[in-house]
Amino acid sequence: MDNTIKQQLIETYINAYNRFEIDKMLTVLTDDVTFENLDNDTVTAKADNKAEFAELAQQAKVAFAEREQKIMAIEHLDNLSIIAINYSGTLAIDLSNGLNAGETIILTGQSEFKFKNGFISSIRDIS
C-alpha cells in the first residue's frame, strides 16, 4: 500500500479519536481489526474485531473529558507504520487506579499500524 494512503488512514483515525468520533474511527478499520494497548509491556486493553474495538472506544469516550494524540514522527515500512505520539487527556471520571476526574494524563509512546485491503487491520498503542 502506498505510504500516502497509509498516512491518510492514520490521520483520519487520529483526528476522529481526538474528536471522540467513534463512527469515523471505525470507517478506516477492517472488520477483523485487532487492537492492543500496552503499558510497561502489560496489555491493558484488547479487541479482536471491530465490534469489540467500538466497545472499548465507547468506554474511553466516557472516561475522558478531552484527549489528544499528536503525531510527532512517522516511519512507514512494508505493511507497518510506526508513529511517535505525545498524548494528553483529562479524565471525566474517577478511575480504579486512583486517578480522579479532572486530572490530566500526559504520556509519550508509539502506535503501530498494520494494513489490509486499504484499511487499518491492526493497532498497537505502546506507552
Computed from CA positions of residues 50, 34, 85, 40, in that sequence, does the dihedral angle turn out positive or negative? positive
The more confidently predicted of residues 113 and 95 is 113
Q: Give the confidence band of 96 by pLDDT, cuts at 50, 70, 90.
A: confident
Per residue in 60-74, pLDDT tens? 999 999 999 999 999
What is the phi-psi region of residue 102: left when phi exceeds 0, alpha when psi lies from -120 to 50, beta otherwise? left
User: Coil, strand or helix: which one is 26?
Assistant: helix
For residue 122, the model assigns a pLDDT of: 98
What are the extents of the domains in the chain? 3-126
Mean pLDDT, rounded, of the chain: 96
Q: What would be the CATH architecture of the domain defined by 3-126?
A: Roll (3.10)
**Which pTM does this prediction carry?**
0.93
Per residue in 21-69, pLDDT tens? 999 999 999 999 999 999 988 999 999 999 999 999 999 999 999 999 9
DSSP state of 95: -
Over 90: is that where the pLDDT of 126 sits?
A: yes
